Structure 1
Amino acid sequence: MSKPTNIEVLDKQSMLGNYAKAVAGMLPLPGAKATGLPDRVLRIENVRIDIDNLADYNHVCGLRLRDTVPVTYPFVLSFPAVMNLLVAKDFPLPAMGMVHMANNIEQIKPISVSDVLTIDVHAADLREHRSGLLVDLITEITVEGELVWRQASTFLRKQRTSLSDEPRPERTDSAPGADGRVANTTLKVTPALISQYAEVSGDRNPIHISKVGAKAFGFPSVIAHGMWSSAAVLGIIEGRIPDSVDYSVEFGKPVVLPAKVKVYADKSANGWSLALRHPKKGYTHLTATVTAR
């Protein structure tokens, strides 16, 4: 699917109250829900890096402050536009209850803390999955008209589809740590830490900050943000990530808080393989690859 040509520029007022809209979207309201994806791009112009916010982000994710932003930080910058798209009346799926399945980042060149950014977000590739419907939220960031960063965030809306009765494929675990070796490091994840991340990132989804909200969606307690995990796991190879890099993440079982998680890393010829695992049961919360472009 090609990028839509219809561009809608967002202002600050239009980016407020999105979680209230998301909750309202759960209610049975009159009128038919859209069946196709919005044919438009949401744009945020003249975005400047807030150094205090960046410092707080790096601190809560266990990363060092530099003159360029971490490869995962632009997700925070684009999040207001992503939420605006998800809660819009012409978006076919309800925002609340969407599950972040995967995230693929292409960093063409690092983003400097002094860069002035233009952020474009659009939806693409609504498709069936055995567990529901998948959709990609595409983010593109340019500096003076040059594409520097691109991301595809894949979300799942759980429901029955024509693929629901297909047999589940066998899965083999070849990610780092599958051999039972000692982890490279351990991360302690607390509700307080994740509440801090929610404030820094703007992602205040109730499943991350409210036990009641988490239980309403079937979780025993609050869970960590997938994008916190994808940032925190990079701390193990910080300083060794290429300037031009692809970072691909698949999310496994959620990190239910409080928790301790094991981090594993394997070096390859052109990058790294990473995994975040449960310390006792060994299943993966996250698997990822970091590959030089």
Structure 2
Amino acid sequence: MSNTVTYKELSSIPVLMDEYRNAVKDVIPGIGEKRSAKENPKTAYEVKGVTVDIAHLAAYTSATGLRLGNELPLTYPYVLSFPLVMKVLTASDSPLNAMGLVHLNNKIEQKRPLTVEDTFDIRVHADNLRPQNKGVLLDLITEVSVDSDVVWTQTSAFLSKGAKLSSSSPYKDKPAEDGRLLGTAEATEGTPTSTIRVTPEDIKVYAEASGDKNPIHVSNLGAKAFGFPGTIAHGMWSTAAALRALEGLIPDAVRYEIDFAKPVVLPASVALFSSQGANGTWELQLRKASKLETLHANAKLEEL
């Protein structure tokens, strides 16, 4: 079922923490919007003429361990566009409350590397409301265009745990899925490609660089309020960190998919495994270094 959206043009990228404050207000009784998981939202947003702030890019690469250069890291447009994602999720017709959503998986498709000289148009909309084994899933789709050509596309699936589709939703009879892009992760063998030590301070640095200061990442009390034993690393920090193993090896036209499993509770040592198949596809996994059976993320990178 096609979702026709209307893009509202904004003059600039919103301030992410303003959108988080809107999300917090949304769950206050008598103040917030009453949500119903019935339809895909029609509200969407776009910003034209976005350029790269070199200091911001440098802070991001420093926080993720990725290379600073003329070409943007594959994951960098995520932090540019995420405030628009949050704005879609806090719009009046969003079917889910933004607070408490779990980022379940992420897919990036890139036609060519974006560069610091490019000027972008960024647009975000939501689609594919559907049941999941533990709640309801919604995809947030981001497109980055240069001269009207869509160069970079991302689909992020967010899970509202415990939610149910409305009895009047046209999607209520869809079979529930587990939400994984890559299926069951195979057990790893051998020695990790590298081991990454990550501390609460490291993630605060990433939070500052990305603008994503969600309490589950920067506050022990905030993390425990959402059921975590302590602060956790951002899923997109893990997504970027996994690419450290592939610096200089990523094709220009590429698809990068990742499923998030157990969160990285801080401080942590994370084992990064990477292997390349006969077809050139890279398989990546992040696992708990002291307990390799604990999977944090399972990813695949392939040339398009």
Q: Same fold per TM (> 0.5)?
A: yes
Q: Does 1:94 align with 2:97?
A: yes
Q: 1:6 offset after TM fit, Å?
A: 1.6
Note the 1:1-293 alignment, pairs <5 A.
2=2, 4-12=4-12, 15=15, 17-29=18-30, 32-34=34-36, 35-159=38-162, 161=164, 172-174=184-186, 178-268=187-277, 269-282=279-292, 283-293=294-304
**Paired residues of 1:68 and 1:111 also in contact (CA < 8 A):** yes
Q: Distance in 1 between matches of 2:272 and 2:41?
A: 38
Percent same amino acid at aligned positions?
44
- Cα distance change on mapping 1:167 and 1:81 into 2, 3 Å: closer
Query: What SS class does the counterpart of residue 21 from structure 1 fall into?
Result: helix
Q: Match of 2:302, as an amino acid?
A: T
Query: What SS class does the counterpart of residue 291 from structure 2 fall into?
Result: coil
| Structure 1, 35-44 or 50-59: larger mean CA deviation | 35-44
Q: Distance in 2 between matches of 1:40 and 1:242?
A: 34
- Cα distance change on mapping 1:167 and 1:235 into 2, 3 Å: closer
| Structure 1, 249-258 or 28-37: larger mean CA deviation | 28-37
Unaligned runs of 5+ in 1: none
Q: Distance in 2 between matches of 1:9 and 1:62?
A: 34
Query: What SS class does the counterpart of residue 100 from structure 1 fall into?
Result: strand
Q: 1:66 offset after TM fit, Å?
A: 1.3
Q: 1:94 offset after TM fit, Å?
A: 0.8
Query: What SS class does the counterpart of residue 128 from structure 1 fall into?
Result: strand
- Cα distance change on mapping 1:172 and 1:137 into 2, 3 Å: closer
- Cα distance change on mapping 1:94 and 1:239 into 2, 3 Å: same
TM-score by length of 1: 0.92
**CA-to-aligned-CA distance 1:131-156 (integer Å, 9 cap, x gap):** 00000000011001011000000000
- Cα distance change on mapping 1:94 and 1:160 into 2, 3 Å: closer
Q: Paired residues, what number? A: 288
Query: What SS class does the counterpart of residue 63 from structure 2 fall into?
Result: helix
CA RMSD of aligned residues (A): 2.3
